[in-house]
Amino acid sequence: MQTFSCRCGNPLFFENTHCISCESEVGWCPACTNIVALEPLSGGGYRCTHTSCGTTLMKCHNYAVENVCNRMVIMDEGHADTLCDCCRYNEVIPDLDISGHRERWAALEAAKRRLFHTLNLLKLPHGTEGDAIRVPLSFSFMADALPDQGLWRSTASQEKVYTGHANGHITINVKETDDVERERLRVDMNESHRTLIGHFRHEVGHYYWDLLVKEQDEGKCCQVFGDHNNPTYAEALEQYYQQGAPADWPTRFISAYATMHPWEDFAETFAFYLDMVAVLDTALHMGLSRAKHDGTLDGMLLAFHQVGLAVNELNRDMGLLDLAPGVIAPAVRDKLAYLHTLIQNANASPQA
Protein backbone atom coordinates (compact mmCIF):
# COMPACT_ATOMS: atom_id res chain seq x y z
CA MET A 1 0.00 0.00 0.00
CA GLN A 2 1.14 3.52 -0.75
CA THR A 3 0.55 6.57 1.40
CA PHE A 4 -1.32 9.53 -0.05
CA SER A 5 -1.13 13.27 0.31
CA CYS A 6 -3.70 15.77 1.59
CA ARG A 7 -4.11 19.13 -0.16
CA CYS A 8 -2.40 20.62 2.93
CA GLY A 9 0.62 18.39 2.32
CA ASN A 10 0.00 16.08 5.27
CA PRO A 11 0.32 12.36 4.54
CA LEU A 12 -2.93 10.38 4.35
CA PHE A 13 -3.35 6.65 4.85
CA PHE A 14 -5.63 4.13 3.13
CA GLU A 15 -7.97 3.89 6.16
CA ASN A 16 -8.30 7.65 6.84
CA THR A 17 -11.59 9.57 6.92
CA HIS A 18 -10.08 12.88 8.15
CA CYS A 19 -6.82 14.76 7.78
CA ILE A 20 -5.45 15.24 11.30
CA SER A 21 -3.63 18.40 10.20
CA CYS A 22 -6.21 20.52 8.28
CA GLU A 23 -9.29 18.52 9.43
CA SER A 24 -10.58 18.06 5.89
CA GLU A 25 -12.78 15.05 5.34
CA VAL A 26 -11.00 12.55 3.14
CA GLY A 27 -12.06 9.54 1.11
CA TRP A 28 -11.08 7.19 -1.71
CA CYS A 29 -11.71 8.75 -5.13
CA PRO A 30 -12.48 6.00 -7.67
CA ALA A 31 -11.67 8.35 -10.56
CA CYS A 32 -8.02 9.03 -9.69
CA THR A 33 -7.67 6.01 -7.33
CA ASN A 34 -6.27 8.00 -4.42
CA ILE A 35 -7.17 8.86 -0.86
CA VAL A 36 -7.93 12.58 -1.27
CA ALA A 37 -9.18 15.60 0.69
CA LEU A 38 -12.86 16.26 -0.10
CA GLU A 39 -14.16 19.74 -0.83
CA PRO A 40 -17.87 19.98 0.14
CA LEU A 41 -20.04 21.47 -2.66
CA SER A 42 -22.90 23.86 -1.90
CA GLY A 43 -25.41 21.74 -3.82
CA GLY A 44 -24.39 18.54 -1.99
CA GLY A 45 -21.62 16.12 -2.76
CA TYR A 46 -17.90 16.75 -2.82
CA ARG A 47 -15.12 17.59 -5.22
CA CYS A 48 -11.93 15.52 -5.34
CA THR A 49 -9.05 17.92 -4.58
CA HIS A 50 -6.37 15.77 -6.19
CA THR A 51 -4.37 17.69 -8.80
CA SER A 52 -5.91 17.28 -12.25
CA CYS A 53 -8.84 15.15 -11.00
CA GLY A 54 -11.63 17.37 -9.60
CA THR A 55 -14.31 14.68 -10.06
CA THR A 56 -17.67 15.32 -8.36
CA LEU A 57 -18.20 12.63 -5.78
CA MET A 58 -20.61 11.43 -3.13
CA LYS A 59 -19.98 9.25 -0.11
CA CYS A 60 -20.72 5.54 -0.21
CA HIS A 61 -23.85 4.84 1.85
CA ASN A 62 -21.72 2.84 4.31
CA TYR A 63 -19.48 5.91 4.72
CA ALA A 64 -22.21 8.58 4.93
CA VAL A 65 -24.64 6.64 7.14
CA GLU A 66 -22.89 3.64 8.72
CA ASN A 67 -19.38 4.97 9.25
CA VAL A 68 -17.66 1.74 8.26
CA CYS A 69 -16.29 2.80 4.87
CA ASN A 70 -14.18 5.65 3.47
CA ARG A 71 -14.94 5.30 -0.23
CA MET A 72 -16.60 7.71 -2.61
CA VAL A 73 -18.81 7.09 -5.63
CA ILE A 74 -18.72 9.21 -8.79
CA MET A 75 -21.78 11.52 -8.58
CA ASP A 76 -23.10 10.88 -12.13
CA GLU A 77 -23.04 7.13 -11.56
CA GLY A 78 -24.76 7.08 -8.19
CA HIS A 79 -27.76 8.09 -6.15
CA ALA A 80 -28.17 8.90 -2.46
CA ASP A 81 -27.89 5.36 -1.09
CA THR A 82 -25.24 4.05 -3.47
CA LEU A 83 -22.66 1.57 -2.26
CA CYS A 84 -19.03 1.86 -3.32
CA ASP A 85 -17.05 -0.61 -5.42
CA CYS A 86 -16.20 -2.64 -2.25
CA CYS A 87 -19.43 -2.41 -0.23
CA ARG A 88 -21.59 -3.45 -3.17
CA TYR A 89 -20.26 -7.00 -2.74
CA ASN A 90 -21.97 -7.41 0.65
CA GLU A 91 -24.87 -9.78 0.97
CA VAL A 92 -25.23 -9.99 4.77
CA ILE A 93 -23.80 -7.52 7.30
CA PRO A 94 -23.54 -8.12 11.06
CA ASP A 95 -26.58 -7.51 13.26
CA LEU A 96 -25.93 -3.92 14.37
CA ASP A 97 -28.31 -4.20 17.35
CA ILE A 98 -25.60 -6.25 19.06
CA SER A 99 -23.08 -4.15 20.93
CA GLY A 100 -19.62 -4.15 19.35
CA HIS A 101 -20.81 -5.33 15.96
CA ARG A 102 -20.41 -1.96 14.23
CA GLU A 103 -16.72 -1.85 15.22
CA ARG A 104 -16.28 -5.45 14.08
CA TRP A 105 -17.98 -4.69 10.78
CA ALA A 106 -15.68 -1.70 10.29
CA ALA A 107 -12.65 -3.96 10.82
CA LEU A 108 -14.03 -6.46 8.29
CA GLU A 109 -14.62 -3.71 5.71
CA ALA A 110 -11.12 -2.31 6.23
CA ALA A 111 -9.62 -5.76 5.55
CA LYS A 112 -11.91 -6.22 2.52
CA ARG A 113 -10.83 -2.88 1.03
CA ARG A 114 -7.19 -3.95 1.31
CA LEU A 115 -8.07 -7.27 -0.32
CA PHE A 116 -9.69 -5.53 -3.29
CA HIS A 117 -6.75 -3.16 -3.58
CA THR A 118 -4.40 -6.13 -4.07
CA LEU A 119 -6.79 -7.90 -6.48
CA ASN A 120 -7.01 -4.71 -8.54
CA LEU A 121 -3.25 -4.32 -8.47
CA LEU A 122 -3.05 -7.78 -10.07
CA LYS A 123 -5.91 -6.88 -12.46
CA LEU A 124 -7.74 -10.02 -11.31
CA PRO A 125 -11.32 -10.09 -12.60
CA HIS A 126 -14.19 -9.92 -10.08
CA GLY A 127 -17.80 -8.81 -10.16
CA THR A 128 -21.17 -9.12 -8.48
CA GLU A 129 -24.44 -10.58 -9.70
CA GLY A 130 -25.43 -8.69 -12.83
CA ASP A 131 -21.83 -7.83 -13.79
CA ALA A 132 -21.66 -10.50 -16.49
CA ILE A 133 -18.99 -12.49 -14.69
CA ARG A 134 -19.10 -16.28 -14.78
CA VAL A 135 -18.96 -16.59 -10.96
CA PRO A 136 -20.32 -13.53 -9.09
CA LEU A 137 -18.53 -12.73 -5.82
CA SER A 138 -20.32 -11.80 -2.58
CA PHE A 139 -19.65 -11.59 1.16
CA SER A 140 -21.60 -12.32 4.34
CA PHE A 141 -20.34 -11.20 7.73
CA MET A 142 -22.19 -13.12 10.42
CA ALA A 143 -21.97 -14.07 14.10
CA ASP A 144 -22.73 -17.30 15.91
CA ALA A 145 -26.03 -17.16 17.74
CA LEU A 146 -25.19 -15.28 20.93
CA PRO A 147 -26.18 -16.11 24.49
CA ASP A 148 -29.09 -13.84 25.34
CA GLN A 149 -29.64 -13.28 29.07
CA GLY A 150 -28.06 -16.61 29.78
CA LEU A 151 -30.12 -18.50 27.23
CA TRP A 152 -29.06 -19.46 23.74
CA ARG A 153 -31.25 -17.81 21.18
CA SER A 154 -33.27 -20.31 19.32
CA THR A 155 -31.89 -20.11 15.80
CA ALA A 156 -32.00 -23.80 15.08
CA SER A 157 -31.03 -23.48 11.43
CA GLN A 158 -27.89 -21.46 11.99
CA GLU A 159 -26.28 -21.52 15.42
CA LYS A 160 -22.72 -21.63 14.24
CA VAL A 161 -21.26 -19.65 11.38
CA TYR A 162 -18.33 -21.17 9.54
CA THR A 163 -15.84 -18.95 7.77
CA GLY A 164 -15.64 -20.32 4.26
CA HIS A 165 -16.44 -20.09 0.56
CA ALA A 166 -19.14 -21.69 -1.59
CA ASN A 167 -19.92 -20.84 -5.23
CA GLY A 168 -18.54 -17.30 -5.09
CA HIS A 169 -20.03 -16.54 -1.69
CA ILE A 170 -17.56 -15.82 1.12
CA THR A 171 -18.74 -16.00 4.73
CA ILE A 172 -16.59 -14.58 7.51
CA ASN A 173 -17.49 -15.15 11.16
CA VAL A 174 -17.30 -11.76 12.92
CA LYS A 175 -15.44 -13.38 15.83
CA GLU A 176 -12.37 -13.39 13.56
CA THR A 177 -12.17 -9.65 14.36
CA ASP A 178 -11.76 -10.50 18.06
CA ASP A 179 -8.02 -10.50 18.82
CA VAL A 180 -8.24 -12.86 21.80
CA GLU A 181 -10.37 -15.41 19.98
CA ARG A 182 -8.25 -15.27 16.85
CA GLU A 183 -4.99 -15.74 18.76
CA ARG A 184 -6.47 -18.67 20.70
CA LEU A 185 -7.46 -20.32 17.41
CA ARG A 186 -4.03 -19.56 15.94
CA VAL A 187 -2.34 -21.46 18.76
CA ASP A 188 -4.93 -24.28 18.68
CA MET A 189 -4.52 -24.74 14.93
CA ASN A 190 -0.73 -24.42 15.05
CA GLU A 191 -0.61 -21.55 12.54
CA SER A 192 2.39 -19.26 12.17
CA HIS A 193 0.07 -16.30 11.86
CA ARG A 194 -3.66 -15.80 11.64
CA THR A 195 -5.05 -12.44 10.62
CA LEU A 196 -8.34 -11.00 9.48
CA ILE A 197 -6.93 -10.02 6.09
CA GLY A 198 -5.41 -13.49 5.83
CA HIS A 199 -8.91 -15.00 5.98
CA PHE A 200 -10.03 -12.78 3.13
CA ARG A 201 -7.00 -13.78 1.05
CA HIS A 202 -7.55 -17.49 1.73
CA GLU A 203 -11.29 -17.46 0.96
CA VAL A 204 -10.82 -15.41 -2.20
CA GLY A 205 -8.32 -18.10 -3.25
CA HIS A 206 -11.24 -20.56 -3.29
CA TYR A 207 -13.20 -18.00 -5.34
CA TYR A 208 -10.45 -17.83 -7.96
CA TRP A 209 -10.31 -21.63 -8.12
CA ASP A 210 -14.00 -21.55 -9.07
CA LEU A 211 -13.55 -18.65 -11.50
CA LEU A 212 -10.27 -19.53 -13.20
CA VAL A 213 -9.64 -23.26 -12.69
CA LYS A 214 -12.95 -25.08 -12.44
CA GLU A 215 -13.87 -26.67 -15.80
CA GLN A 216 -11.08 -24.63 -17.40
CA ASP A 217 -7.69 -25.61 -16.11
CA GLU A 218 -8.44 -28.48 -13.72
CA GLY A 219 -6.06 -30.92 -15.42
CA LYS A 220 -3.01 -28.71 -15.07
CA CYS A 221 -4.03 -27.64 -11.57
CA CYS A 222 -4.33 -31.31 -10.48
CA GLN A 223 -0.78 -31.99 -11.69
CA VAL A 224 0.50 -29.26 -9.37
CA PHE A 225 -1.81 -29.44 -6.34
CA GLY A 226 -3.03 -33.06 -6.56
CA ASP A 227 -6.38 -34.59 -7.48
CA HIS A 228 -9.21 -32.74 -5.69
CA ASN A 229 -11.67 -35.60 -6.37
CA ASN A 230 -9.58 -38.26 -4.68
CA PRO A 231 -9.85 -38.19 -1.71
CA THR A 232 -13.10 -36.23 -1.58
CA TYR A 233 -13.14 -33.05 0.47
CA ALA A 234 -15.25 -34.71 3.20
CA GLU A 235 -12.83 -37.66 3.50
CA ALA A 236 -9.84 -35.34 3.58
CA LEU A 237 -11.42 -33.14 6.25
CA GLU A 238 -12.17 -36.14 8.44
CA GLN A 239 -8.63 -37.44 8.08
CA TYR A 240 -7.04 -34.06 8.77
CA TYR A 241 -8.96 -33.55 12.00
CA GLN A 242 -8.05 -37.05 13.17
CA GLN A 243 -4.40 -37.17 12.17
CA GLY A 244 -3.33 -33.58 11.53
CA ALA A 245 -0.66 -32.59 9.03
CA PRO A 246 2.20 -34.98 8.15
CA ALA A 247 5.45 -34.12 9.93
CA ASP A 248 7.27 -33.31 6.67
CA TRP A 249 4.68 -30.76 5.51
CA PRO A 250 7.17 -27.85 5.29
CA THR A 251 8.98 -29.63 2.43
CA ARG A 252 5.82 -29.67 0.30
CA PHE A 253 3.30 -27.15 1.61
CA ILE A 254 3.07 -23.46 2.52
CA SER A 255 1.22 -24.28 5.75
CA ALA A 256 0.06 -27.26 7.81
CA TYR A 257 -3.57 -26.59 6.87
CA ALA A 258 -2.66 -26.72 3.17
CA THR A 259 -2.05 -30.47 3.58
CA MET A 260 -5.75 -31.04 4.21
CA HIS A 261 -6.95 -31.15 0.59
CA PRO A 262 -5.79 -29.79 -2.81
CA TRP A 263 -8.44 -27.02 -2.57
CA GLU A 264 -7.06 -25.86 0.78
CA ASP A 265 -3.54 -26.08 -0.60
CA PHE A 266 -4.61 -23.88 -3.53
CA ALA A 267 -6.28 -21.33 -1.19
CA GLU A 268 -3.36 -21.25 1.27
CA THR A 269 -0.83 -20.83 -1.55
CA PHE A 270 -3.01 -18.19 -3.20
CA ALA A 271 -3.22 -16.30 0.12
CA PHE A 272 0.57 -16.42 0.42
CA TYR A 273 0.89 -15.03 -3.13
CA LEU A 274 -1.40 -12.12 -2.19
CA ASP A 275 0.58 -11.57 1.05
CA MET A 276 3.74 -11.34 -1.02
CA VAL A 277 2.25 -8.96 -3.60
CA ALA A 278 0.84 -6.67 -0.87
CA VAL A 279 4.08 -6.60 1.12
CA LEU A 280 6.25 -5.94 -1.94
CA ASP A 281 3.90 -3.15 -3.07
CA THR A 282 4.12 -1.46 0.32
CA ALA A 283 7.87 -1.97 0.62
CA LEU A 284 8.42 -0.39 -2.81
CA HIS A 285 6.23 2.58 -1.95
CA MET A 286 8.12 2.98 1.32
CA GLY A 287 11.37 3.19 -0.61
CA LEU A 288 12.90 -0.15 0.42
CA SER A 289 15.28 -0.77 -2.46
CA ARG A 290 15.58 -4.48 -1.59
CA ALA A 291 11.90 -4.83 -2.61
CA LYS A 292 12.71 -4.09 -6.28
CA HIS A 293 11.98 -7.00 -8.61
CA ASP A 294 11.54 -7.73 -12.30
CA GLY A 295 7.97 -9.05 -12.14
CA THR A 296 9.00 -12.71 -12.56
CA LEU A 297 8.02 -15.11 -9.80
CA ASP A 298 11.64 -15.79 -8.83
CA GLY A 299 12.34 -12.06 -8.78
CA MET A 300 9.34 -11.54 -6.51
CA LEU A 301 10.33 -14.42 -4.21
CA LEU A 302 13.86 -13.09 -3.88
CA ALA A 303 12.63 -9.57 -3.11
CA PHE A 304 10.07 -10.93 -0.63
CA HIS A 305 12.81 -12.96 1.07
CA GLN A 306 15.01 -9.84 1.36
CA VAL A 307 12.18 -7.70 2.73
CA GLY A 308 11.06 -10.59 4.94
CA LEU A 309 14.51 -10.84 6.55
CA ALA A 310 14.37 -7.15 7.45
CA VAL A 311 10.80 -7.19 8.70
CA ASN A 312 11.25 -10.42 10.69
CA GLU A 313 14.20 -8.83 12.50
CA LEU A 314 12.14 -5.67 13.17
CA ASN A 315 9.32 -7.83 14.50
CA ARG A 316 11.74 -9.78 16.72
CA ASP A 317 12.99 -6.43 18.06
CA MET A 318 9.43 -5.75 19.14
CA GLY A 319 8.69 -9.29 20.32
CA LEU A 320 6.20 -9.90 17.50
CA LEU A 321 5.70 -12.94 15.26
CA ASP A 322 7.74 -13.40 12.09
CA LEU A 323 6.12 -11.96 9.01
CA ALA A 324 7.71 -14.05 6.28
CA PRO A 325 8.77 -17.71 6.11
CA GLY A 326 12.53 -18.24 6.04
CA VAL A 327 12.60 -20.68 3.13
CA ILE A 328 10.22 -21.53 0.29
CA ALA A 329 10.49 -25.25 -0.55
CA PRO A 330 10.91 -26.09 -4.28
CA ALA A 331 7.53 -27.88 -4.33
CA VAL A 332 5.86 -24.72 -2.96
CA ARG A 333 7.68 -22.60 -5.52
CA ASP A 334 6.19 -24.79 -8.29
CA LYS A 335 2.69 -24.18 -6.93
CA LEU A 336 3.36 -20.43 -6.80
CA ALA A 337 4.64 -20.59 -10.40
CA TYR A 338 1.32 -22.16 -11.45
CA LEU A 339 -0.61 -19.35 -9.68
CA HIS A 340 1.67 -16.65 -11.11
CA THR A 341 0.88 -17.84 -14.66
CA LEU A 342 -2.82 -18.34 -13.88
CA ILE A 343 -3.09 -14.76 -12.59
CA GLN A 344 -1.18 -13.31 -15.55
CA ASN A 345 -3.42 -15.17 -18.01
CA ALA A 346 -6.54 -14.07 -16.10
CA ASN A 347 -5.77 -10.40 -16.55
CA ALA A 348 -4.86 -10.91 -20.19
CA SER A 349 -8.35 -12.33 -20.88
CA PRO A 350 -10.91 -11.12 -18.31
CA GLN A 351 -13.66 -13.58 -17.41
CA ALA A 352 -16.44 -11.17 -18.36
Helix (H, G, I), strand (E, B) or coil at 18: strand
Length of the chain: 352
Q: Nearer Cβ to Zn ion, position 48 or 280?
A: 48
Smaller CB separation from Zn ion, 8 or 121: 8
Q: Residue 150 Cβ, how far from Zn ion at the closest point, in Å?
A: 34
60 SS3 class: coil
How many C-alpha atoms does 14 have within 13 Å on its Cβ side?
A: 15
For the chain, what is the radius of gyration of the CA atoms?
Answer: 21
Q: Beta 72-74 vs 90-92: how paired, if at all?
A: unpaired
The DSSP code for 28 is E
Rounded to the nearest whole angstrom, what is the least distance from the CB of residue 321 to Zn ion in the complex? 21
Q: What is the separation of C-alpha 26 from the centre of its chain, rounded to a whole number of angstroms?
A: 22
Output 50 or 104, the one with its CB closest to Zn ion. 50
CB-nearer residue toward Zn ion: 24 or 171: 24
Q: How far is the CB of 69 from Zn ion (least distance, A)?
A: 3
Where does this chain bind Zn ion (CB under 5 A)? 6, 8, 10, 19, 21-22, 24, 29, 31-32, 48, 50, 53, 55, 60, 62, 69, 71, 84, 87, 264, 267
Element spanning 278, H or E: helix 262-285
* Least separation in angstroms between CB 80 and Zn ion: 14
> Is the CB of 201 or the CB of 293 nearer to Zn ion?
201
- Toward Zn ion, which CB reaches closer, 212 or 311? 212
Question: Closer CB to Zn ion, residue 31 or residue 245?
Answer: 31
Buried b (16+ CB within 10 A) or exposed e, 126-145: bbbeeeebebbbbbebbbbb
3-state DSSP assignment of residue 140: strand
Tell the smallest beta-carbon distance from residue 219 to Zn ion (Å): 22
**Is residue 125 classed exposed, middle or buried when 0-12, 13-18 and 19+ CB atoms within 10 A define those classes?**
buried
Kindly report the backbone phi and psi dihedral angles of residue 171, in degrees, each rounded to the nearest multiple of 5, phi listed first.
-110, 130
Neighbour tally for 33: CB within 10 Å = 13
Q: How far is the CB of 63 from Zn ion (least distance, A)?
A: 6
Q: Helix, strand, or coil here: 90? A: strand
Least CB distance from residue 301 to Zn ion, whole Å?
Answer: 23
